[in-house]
Structure 1
């Protein structure tokens, strides 16, 4: 029977779909006194109601050209009188909306990746393969960075390496979301992302699927293979694939697993010597409650309540070592864009990691520090 690989089970998974404008509540209009001036939008249905709205106004802010609406300022009692007219469709507070500004996720901030960005470090020229459920090629925060990809599983009605789960897209955004003023920004921002689909829409795949994906990444000559997946038992086929990738210049980074609390439970492929195992921390720099730990862990990165890209052009919060892994993958991409080999980048990430008081079993060399790895301190900026 084929061994099944999948996304490490997540505890405390939080989802929040983004992408909608935030409107002000109507509390201001409701709380106004009768003689207070309010600003309202009046939907009219006739010339007489239009004239009535103008007459009620102390100031006409706007009359729309193509829709029957006026924006006016008027005493609340006058606005209420308009609402009572049969030929007035509605009277509503002229609420406020907010621009959809780009969010700096706390994990990217905590790892000081924004310091690297401020100094021109974008990862441009590096190739990062997300070996996962695929990537949503239509996502506005990922499109500009997408390269090629391949699927090693049956995709059903989904073309090629498209993501029909969401997990791979989430990891892709953490590693390398575009710095475009909207949505989120990744640890790296201009590396080329490649989708290597080895997990189905249900989040599972076989040892052969994963091994084939890793072999493919190595054969393409890509720099980083990000593996936010795992199994509790090893496989010689998978071990061989990981060793092949390492020997061919790929830095494989993998999630340690979500079997915590435990002391010796790092999953595979993270437990292989050819792979850099990543544990997860929370906002307080503590080990995430779900994070696996063990002597194979080499570094820790933020993994609790991480906001990133999701399928359908949306954004979601997820928790897991799956989220910690692409933080390190993005940082590795930046180093390799600067000429580091896979072994040099691995060593550099560990030697510059921050000591946050966790044991080596929990965090390896410490917490990822992107700025330090690239030669900056947290106060450096251009």
Structure 2
């Protein structure tokens, strides 16, 4: 099972770049000064944590059990750092997907795909004849299908959600969570997460496209809203959820410049629990990879073109794997 998991992970590592690194986005973080992540010592129980929050006039938003933290709206006079029971306090920054997102999910050039049959223009997903995108073939996914098609592998997409009614995804979506409001309404109201999910696990059903692992179990972890924005605490909460629910692989097609201890703490815990994590290195034009891709527990992916040349918008430093990142067709 572990060998099969590694095979799937390696393919998803290379194919994740198809959406996370072709000119889709540049992520940045904005500080929300009134919203903080307060991380307590491991021995501090729930009652004591709540008393400390109340003492400092803060309002509790949510618990993150994996790192023994509480996300709060703080008052003007809070001083959590003075508490011996508090390990550290960090700003709950906002992770944003840039407005200039370019999805390739409609019409495509024949040169951009390897066809089982050619896709027709101006059709609904149900009417589109199935194609294998060029990047899927480039990384050798069809050959991998002789070994495994991803069955039994649980992959979580931490993003804007997944379209649960998409005809090329629905059968593979097995569950999820909305970490923004902490419920199970994890449908995509932006499109980015659905695009990522299609690259990973679009079904082989004679319509649309085929993903790298067409029989994988997809889990939608909606941590970004309809604008592509989300607090880093919601991403941390999503990773926490993945640990609890025995997810095998986590995909994170976003990045920030801040090296946040809380984010790294939960990433390390996920790694200790055997979860393979994949993240885009960032679209920063030859610069350094962003977080969480920088963390040693995470595989950082950079972008190449049809000829294997590094694309100009891709990060270069800190990249672990290079993969197709241009003219990407997905759901």
Q: TM-score, normalised by structure 1?
A: 0.56
- Aligned match of 1:100: 128
Q: Deviations over 1:288-321 (max 9, x none)?
A: 2211121x21111112111000xxxxxxxxxxxx
Change (3 A) 1:307 1:149: same
Q: Is residue 2:98 matched to residue 1:3?
A: no
**Aligned residue among 194, 198, 209 for 1:184:** 209
Cα distance between partner residues in 2 of 1:281 and 1:15? 16
Give matches, 1:116-195, under 5 Å: 116-117=144-145, 119-154=146-181, 160-195=185-220
Cα distance between partner residues in 2 of 1:279 and 1:11? 19
Aligned residue-pair number: 227
**What's the offset of the Cα at 1:249?**
1.0
Give matches, 1:30-69, under 5 Å: none
Q: Deviations over 1:142-174 (max 9, x none)?
A: 01111010011149xx97101000000000000
CA contact (8 A) 1:218 1:249 kept: no
Q: Is residue 2:301 matched to residue 1:278?
A: yes
Q: Deviations over 1:249-297 (max 9, x none)?
A: 10010000111133xx110111011111111111121112211121x21
**Deviant stretches of 4+, over 2 Å:** 9-23
- Aligned match of 1:17: 106
Q: Secondary structure at the match of 2:289?
A: coil
CA contact (8 A) 1:207 1:235 kept: no
Please say which structure displays the higher CA radius of gyration.
1
Q: Secondary structure at the match of 2:143?
A: helix
Q: Secondary structure at the match of 1:226?
A: strand
Cα distance between partner residues in 2 of 1:303 and 1:222? 26
- Aligned match of 1:299: 321
**What's the offset of the Cα at 1:22?**
4.8
Q: Secondary structure at the match of 1:104?
A: strand
Change (3 A) 1:22 1:201: closer
Cα distance between partner residues in 1 of 2:255 and 2:184? 25
Q: Which has the higher contact order (CA 8 A, sep 6+)?
A: 2
CA contact (8 A) 1:4 1:231 kept: no
CA contact (8 A) 2:177 2:184 kept: no
**What's the offset of the Cα at 1:225?**
0.4
Cα distance between partner residues in 1 of 2:177 and 2:101? 31
Q: Secondary structure at the match of 1:297?
A: coil
Cα distance between partner residues in 1 of 2:279 and 2:128? 32
Cα distance between partner residues in 2 of 1:214 and 1:159? 15
CA contact (8 A) 1:123 1:190 kept: yes
- Aligned match of 2:40: none
**What's the offset of the Cα at 1:15?**
4.3
CA contact (8 A) 1:266 1:293 kept: yes
Cα distance between partner residues in 2 of 1:189 and 1:148? 16
**What's the offset of the Cα at 1:219?**
1.2
Cα distance between partner residues in 1 of 2:283 and 2:99? 7
Q: TM-score, normalised by structure 2?
A: 0.65
Cα distance between partner residues in 1 of 2:227 and 2:99? 14
Q: Which moved more, 1:249-258 or 1:283-292?
A: 283-292
Cα distance between partner residues in 2 of 1:203 and 1:293? 24
Cα distance between partner residues in 2 of 1:300 and 1:11? 23
